[in-house]
Amino acid sequence: MTITLPDTDAVDEHGYVPVVSLAGLDDPDQRVRIAGELGAALRRSGFYVAVDHTVPVPVFDRLTTAALEFFHRPEEEKARYGPSPADATRRGFTSRYRAASGIGVVTDEDAAEAWALNPYDESLGWRDLDALGPTYRAAFVHPNRIPDTPGFRESALTYFAAMESQILTLLALHALDLGLAPDHFTRLCAGAMTNLVVNHYPPKRAEPLPGQSCLGPHTDLGIMTGLLHSGQPGLQVVDRENPGAWIPVPPVPGGLVVNAGDLLVLVSGGRYRSALHRVVCGAEERLSVPVFVQPAPQTTVAPALPPLPGTDAAPVEFGAYFADRIGMMYADPED
């Protein structure tokens, strides 16, 4: 796989990443119009910013406060929340990964550190885990490692649930846009192994290390990703219409940034796009909290529409595919 990366920054003069209001979804005509606008965004750039959404901003604010308190702790204290070696979802604290390696691009380490939550945890009681065979159970069912800073647990779990629910609502609109059954994605994502990640980006170094990104260029591997925008710049998307440039995602404070993952492209038969994106470090430290909606491991994901010519149409079993992609992000390039 050869991937050419842009080398300049641009401005979004032509609404490449549009801002779309979700107000009026209860009205059938408005619903069709909004589904069309969201669909057009995923067909063109793979990204949009939704406003008038249902994810409570105060919960996001509480989570960022609690998470910053955690990330500011000494390294050895954070390391106590590190992932169990057996946990293929890497939940807990981690500071060594290379997002770009997941798509086969070699970079040095990313500057971000992160903390992850996954619902495949028996103590949460959120998922029926009986359908998992022993291999997937050993790989994916583990206790979460939630820091004890005030408000962390409550805000992380509330944000997770609100964001996952909002993304499933958006996916129903995309089913409408694609001409699929309204519950197509609800069924595909039954028992979803959705992941929440809190990324902590440091301020830009005076002299950045060569080849180091805040978060390297990558596409998201799952169905759909959503995060609330802090208002701080940093997230950029490759412009397919001008592939020499990175386009900034509009910094709408509290706006819901949504992007299609590689598996949504597969389901859509290549009609939607999953954009290459990256994070550049800014003047100040900042957090992002993406929620990645992903099917259950035993789910087979395949095109729901006739694949367009030249698109990848091979079905994947999510668990095996996920373990592969995540493994690449953490592998040592010398291995």
* Residue 168 or 235 with smaller CB distance to Fe ion: 235
- By CB under 5 A, residue 110 contacts Fe ion: no
HSE value, Cβ hemisphere, 13 Å, CA-based, for 335? 7
Build a one-symbol-per-residue string for 249-278: x at contacts with Fe ion by CB under 5 A, - elsewhere: ------------------------------
Burial of 95 (0-12, 13-18, 19+ CB in 10 A): middle
Alpha carbons 266 and 21: distance in angstroms, whole number = 26
Per the structure block, which two tokens stand in for 79? 């390391």
* Residue 113 or 220 with smaller CB distance to Fe ion: 220
* Residue 132 or 329 with smaller CB distance to Fe ion: 329
Binding to Fe ion in span 202-231, by CB under 5 A: 220
Do residues 299 and 317 touch, judged by C-beta distance below 8 A?
yes
Closest alpha carbon to 279 in 222, 334, 333, 227: 227
Shortest CB 277 distance to Fe ion, Å: 6
Count of residues touching Fe ion (by CB under 5 A): 1
Shortest CB 220 distance to Fe ion, Å: 4
* Residue 110 or 220 with smaller CB distance to Fe ion: 220
Alpha carbons 177 and 218: distance in angstroms, whole number = 26
Shortest CB 138 distance to Fe ion, Å: 27
Residue nearest to Fe ion according to CB distances in the complex = 220
Closest alpha carbon to 119 in 143, 139, 135, 155: 143
Shortest CB 225 distance to Fe ion, Å: 6
* Residue 180 or 234 with smaller CB distance to Fe ion: 234
Shortest CB 36 distance to Fe ion, Å: 25
Give the residues across from 316 on adjacent strands. Answer: 301
Cα 210 to Cα 159, 205, 214, 234, 286: the distances in Å are 35, 11, 12, 18, 21
Shortest CB 49 distance to Fe ion, Å: 15
Binding site for Fe ion (CB under 5 A): 220
